[in-house]
Amino acid sequence: MTIEYLKKAAKNPATGEDETRRIVADMLAEIEAGGEAGAEAFGEKLDGFSGDIVVGAEAIQAAADKVPEQLKDDLKFAYDRVRGFAEKQRQSIGEFEAELSPGLWAGQKLIPIDTAGCYVPGGRYAHVASAIMSITTAKVAGVENVIACSAPSAEHGGPHPAILYTMNLCGADHILALGGVQGIAAMAFGLFTGHKANILVGPGNRFVAEAKRMLFGRVGIDLFAGPTEILVIADAGADPEVVAFDLVGQAEHGPDSPAWLVTTSRELAEKTMARMQDLIDALPEVQRNAADAAWRDYGEVVLCDTDEEAARVSDEYAPEHLEVQTGNLDWYVNRLKNYGSLFVGEETTVAFGDKCSGTNHILPTKGAGHYTGGLSVHKFIKVVTTQRATREANRDVAAVTARISRLEGMEGHARTGDVRLDKYFPDESFQLQP
């Protein structure tokens, strides 16, 4: 493979992990020991909020009154499409029972998780779309208790009004005015609601992501949803202006959000890079500072000789968001294997999926696209197996079980087959040694 880095990142998604782990571990231990008071203390310290943690109906209605009608219509537009896509996902899996051999039946059952904790970022930006992605999907899956949390602020007297409105629209059963590690901990430990989350889902900063990782095992998690990533594959026919806008659009998420360009055209690469700083400088201050640091420290531009090389490089990155802007779109769609969500052609972009087009925007980062996809109804449903057998079926199954068990040295297992053969077929003899 012949590739050339026209821009190489000074940092990578793993930068700073040790410090993050230490901070999060200390916070989780303190909150678990201190309970609700501990979580409240961190909320007041980090968010400057000392109001009610549990958001009641009156506060939700007050928030709704502050949301403009146009925004309500837009949120409903997004909600309908995300819900529709989730319903199609739910319909794609089902329960069954099949006779594998005479008298031996096996099947699967679909059991929704009891309680889900949905984290909705609300610090730098009011991520209403994240509420739609997580809460709606959990409800379509059949989750009985959905707890949602988002960072409060003194300005709003709680979470952002649009976030509260959206959480309620999507069917959250409990809403907590907590962000960061303290919000994750409260949902995992069952604070304020009496329901311990069985699974934690939702994107967040590096501290939120690390808290989920540390709690995994005690609870399930959707995936490692850390700082957002974008990779664009583009050829000579792509529009460098569009490519640059798309890279900047994701870099504004935060100073540690990687933006990568993989291209077979040096001219496209150079024109795109030449536009990046101007587009970044044109953003409002908060977004400008985030995008500037992200592009400076995490941005990369990779020049490849062939489409196959470009596809290999992309698969190595396994990006969260992958855009393809080339003349041979179908080839790339069929060839690419590792990504969270794929955006095919110039006519679509990551922001469409982030906000309202229907697919979920809670996606794998930091290379997790090598082994998992994004959030879906499947994450909220346990696929469990069942089996039943007739006595006649034991003639073969019990004997085979006994022989395999003895080969493995598990005599107790073998005897559970023996006892059934003795009971059901007392006048017959069986070979029970391997």
Task: Please say whether the beta carbons of 7 and 301 come within 8 A.
Answer: yes
Q: Tell me if residue 321 is catalytic.
A: yes
- Residue 434's nearest CA partner among 393, 406, 392, 396 is 406
Task: Please say whether the beta carbons of 209 and 257 come within 8 A.
Answer: no
Packing angle, helices 206-215 and 180-189, rounded to 10 = 20
**Cα torsion angle, 235, 238, 244, 249, sign:** negative
**What values do phi and psi take at 263, rounded to 5?**
-145, 155
Q: Tell me if residue 392 is catalytic.
A: no
Show the tokens assigned to 356.
Answer: 């309202």
Q: How many helices (H) and strands (E) does the chain have?
A: 16, 14
Catalytic one among 320, 323, 346, 361? 320
Give the residue carrying structure tokens 């006994």: 402
Catalytic one among 127, 174, 195, 321? 321
Quote the CA–CA distance of 374 and 397 in Å, as a whole number: 39
- Residue 193's nearest CA partner among 60, 55, 57, 62 is 55
Beta strands 104-112 and 300-304, pairing class: unpaired
Task: Please say whether the beta carbons of 204 and 225 come within 8 A.
Answer: yes
- Residue 127's nearest CA partner among 382, 321, 351, 417 is 351
Quote the CA–CA distance of 37 and 49 in Å, as a whole number: 13
Residues marked active site are found at 320-321
